[in-house]
Amino acid sequence: MTIDAVYLLQLTLNGITLGLLYALIAVGLSLIFGVMEIINFAHGELLMLGAFAMAFALPVTGLLYWPAMAAAVLCTMVAGFVVYETLLVRLKTDEFERSILITLGLSIVLIHVMQYFFTATPRIIDTQYGFDGVDIGSIRITWTRVIGAVAALVAFAGLYLILRFTQFGRAMRAIAQNREAALMVGIRPRVVARNAVVLAAGLCGLAGAAIAPIQLVTPYMGQFLIFKAFALVIIGGLGNIPGAVIAAIALGLIENWIGGFFTIAWQDASVFVIMIVVLFLRPDGLFKRGGMRVG
Amino acid sequence: MKLVLAIAAALAFAALPFLSGSNYIVGVGTSALIFTVAAAALNLIYGFTGLLSFAQLGFWGIGGYATALTVVTFGGNFWTGVLAAAAINAVVALVVGYPMLRTSRHAFVISTLTFALLVSLIARDWVDLTRGPLGIPDLPPPRAFGHVFSSTHQFYGIAWAFSVAMLAFLYVLCSSRIGRTLVAIKQNEPLVRAQGISPMPYKLAAFSISAAITGAAGGVFVFHLGIVDPLILDFYYMQTFLIIVIIGGTGSFWGVVVSGVALSALPEALRFSDDFRMIIYGVILVVAMFAMPSGVAGWLRERELARLRASLR
């Protein structure tokens, strides 16, 4: 098989954009796990809500991309707040299995309520950028992908700055590193956990809004993405944010390369195979859980 | 006393096809028996050993495909098919279970989920073997000694014998020293280690046995349906098993058996709309986790304990 350099570059660029969007989801999961030691099974449904919010906001804003995206992020942050205050707040620490089952129930309800009201018919989302793209030599990438990747990068930079330099973010890291010590210096776990969930939901909504114009929007769209994100979080080491980002970008690339050169069946399966191999070699994931370090 | 009740209940279930001429009711009964076995197998790994395993769904699907393929592609019969399903699942569970069980309990849950998804991708995409999304329709009815189990009523007999045998095996296992060791691992693993017991072989054995039984149940179930396709790996089945175990009471053998039979009738009663049914399932799951985290059996046990305490005062 001869490898065409242009084709390879095209796959690589697509892989990076996809990987950045995966990373947005995985980082949210990692953040929640770091602070609360739970896994949010309904995280994919937050993404789906973000995508639907984008789909409904676009016609209102006259197909303007950025206001619609802001509306979607705001909408999922509110959803995250509600989920935390009604369900997750009742969980005690060390109730991992219970957290999974509760959020699993929530995810079933959200998927089917959305399907009941908006049907399972896939929607194509049109934005002000349409399907225009930017041409680099003979390579073509649509604007929606470029903007999605840029938005993800900006979000990561923002997250890094928040976690590193603000009191808000330092409290999250403190809880993740040592719960008792954080309590002793007067950090309230409840408030910090709520902030973490809302922040993670916002990242997820951003991912949903960015994915909406790239893929089809259906009530089920979150489910498959979240399963991949779970695998990524495991590969990167549970609760390790940089690990999740690296694993996500690597997966985006690997998936696109495999999809480009082999049958499409291997594309979806690759992440799960990689995860089982990684667990076999390194049971704690590739990067050890360092109590949610950011730098 | 419990045993007498159980035998009486088993015999009562054996009489169902003679009491009802309706294919629909007997068909629901068949599903109920098979679901109860799968839920009891999930109870072995989750309720007793404390490992929440979503891989059960994968084993259920592997079992269904293994049985169907044994009959259709490899020229075996239903009985060898079910045995093959159990054997293949036991081996697969050992192979994937070892790396998964070495991880933390958090990673275990997610990696089992991933395994189930991988199985469903294989079922969909390995078209040469599984025939892809079209599945394998028209599975022939099982036969033994020249007798063909073609009608729903006759198939019910197979499902009944299967579930009674499997539940009896699981009961013996759960109430044996092995079962108590599994509970000990769930409650306090460091203490188990301190007693000189290595938890790994026990966990691996529980995972593998539970996989084999789930697989065999899946095999029987696809012959009840008469078709196997990737829908056998629908997450709906996993949710059903989980709800049965949680409502019945994790770690309570009889609680799960009773709720298995009772709740398998529920999806039939709620068949007015698929979406509504799933919404109700989700709501039941959330409410049960808050209102009765240890299920009906756990709730009854707590009440009994409270009464004992009160009587000692």
Nearest CA to CA, how far is A217 from chain B (Å)?
18
Distance between B48 CA and the closest CA of chain A, angstroms: 14
- Find, among B60, B90, B93, the residue nearest to B236 by Cα: B60
pLDDT(A127) > 80: no
Which member of A96, A268, A285 has the closest CB to residue B121?
Answer: A268
Average pLDDT estimate for A247-256: 87
- B48 belongs to a structural domain: yes
Judge whether A24 and A155 are in contact, CB under 8 Å.
yes
Q: Which own/partner pairs from A177-180 qualify as long-range (CB within 8 Å, at least 24 positions apart)? A: A177/A291, A177/A292, A178/A291, A179/A93
Is B126 in Cβ contact with A96 (below 8 Å)?
Answer: no
Integer Cα distance of A134 and A119 in angstroms? 34
A21-45: pLDDT as tens digits:
889 899 988 888 888 888 888 888 9
What confidence score (pLDDT) does residue A295 get? Answer: 46
Residues of B in contact with A87 (CB under 8 A): 286
DSSP state of A217: B
In a domain, B208, yes or no: yes
Q: What is the pLDDT, as a whole number, of residue B127?
A: 75
Give the one of A238, A275, A276 whose C-beta lies nearest to B106's C-beta: A238
Domain-embedded: residue B26 = yes
Check whether A293 has a pLDDT greater than 70.
Answer: no
pLDDT at B238: 87
> Which pLDDT score is estimated for B91?
94
Distance CA B54, CA B74 (A): 29
Q: Residue ranges of the domains in chain A? A: 5-221
Contacts of B111 in chain A (CB under 8 A): 234, 275-276, 279
pLDDT on residue A197 = 92
Find the closest chain B residue to A111 by CA distance.
Answer: B279
* pTM for this entry: 0.84
Is B92 among the domain residues?
A: yes
- The verdict on residue B269 lying in a domain is no
Helices (H), chain A: 5-36, 43-60, 65-86, 96-118, 143-165, 167-177, 179-184, 189-211, 221-236, 241-261, 264-281
Low pLDDT (below 70) residues in chain B: 21, 146, 266-275
> Looking at the domain assignment, is residue B310 inside a domain?
no
| pLDDT tier, A289 (very low <50, low <70, confident <90, very high otherwise) | low
Please report residues of B whose CB lies closer than 8 A to that of A33: 106
**Which B residues, 182 through 241, put their C-beta within 8 Å of a C-beta on chain A?**
239
CA A82 to chain centre: 19
Look at residues A109, A114, A112 and name the one whose alpha carbon lies nearest to residue A86.
A109
> How far off is chain A from B294, nearest CA to CA, in Å?
11
pLDDT at B209 (0 to 100): 93
pLDDT computed for residue A217 by the predictor: 87
Does B280 reach chain A within 8 Å, measured CB to CB? no
Residue B136 counted as domain residue: yes
What residues make up the domain containing B196?
A: 2-235
Contact B118 A230 (CB under 8 A): no
What is the ipTM metric for this complex? 0.79
> Residue B120: inside a domain, yes or no?
yes
Q: Does B293 sit within 8 Å of A279, measured CB to CB?
A: no
* Percentage of residues in chain A having pLDDT higher than 90: 13
Say yes or no for a CB contact (<8 Å) between B114 and A227.
yes
Residues of A in contact with B110 (CB under 8 A): 39, 230-231, 233-234
Searching chain B, which residue's CA lies closest to the CA of residue A38?
A: B106
